Amino acid sequence: MNGNMKRTVGMAMLMAFMAGGLAACDKEEAPADEAEQSMEESANEAEQSMEEAGAAADEAMDDTAAATEETMDDAAAATDEATDEMGAAADEAMNDAEQMADDAGQAMDDAASEADQMADEAMDDAGQAMEDAGNDMQDSVEEETTN
């Protein structure tokens, strides 16, 4: 509560107590003085209570603001940490994928080289077999012509 509002409420209470006291006293001075003193004490107590309530409200708002700020800081830190972890995991997955692609490429190159070598050997073997067959046929023809 701000100061002006407290003073206004305090003054309104003081006036109400004074008017009530004056009406009750019916123009006798001693009871009026007592009533006035009682009203002033009540008004002072009310003002003090209102000031204490305002201070407690201010303190509660400060505590709430501090807790909110701390929560926001914690959330920001957690978000940063999660982002860093996700980035590291993505980097690791990308590196793994690149390594797998390299390994697959190397395996394909090895398989192609082996297939090429096997084809060359098969061609050589086929050529040798054909040459051997040709020689056998020639030997066979020569044998028949000599017989």
pLDDT for position 22: 62
Q: In the chain, pLDDT over 70 holds for what percent of residues? A: 84
CA angle centred on 132, ends 126 and 135, rounded to 5°? 140
User: Residue 40: its pLDDT value, please?
Assistant: 81
pLDDT tens, position by position, 16-55? 777 666 666 555 556 667 767 877 887 788 788 888 888 8
* pLDDT tens profile 64-116: 999 999 999 999 999 999 999 999 999 999 999 999 999 999 999 998 899 88
**Higher pLDDT pick, 80 / 144:** 80
Structure tokens given for 27: 């123009």
Q: Tell me the C-alpha to C-alpha distance, in Å, between residue 93 and each of 88, 89, 90, 96.
A: 9, 6, 5, 5
**SS3 label, residue 147:** coil
Task: Count the alpha carbons within 13 Å of 118 in the hemisphere toward its beta carbon.
Answer: 6
Rounded CA separation 46/53 (Å): 10
Residue 15's pLDDT band, with cuts at 50, 70 and 90, is confident
CB 20, CB 36: distance < 8 Å? no
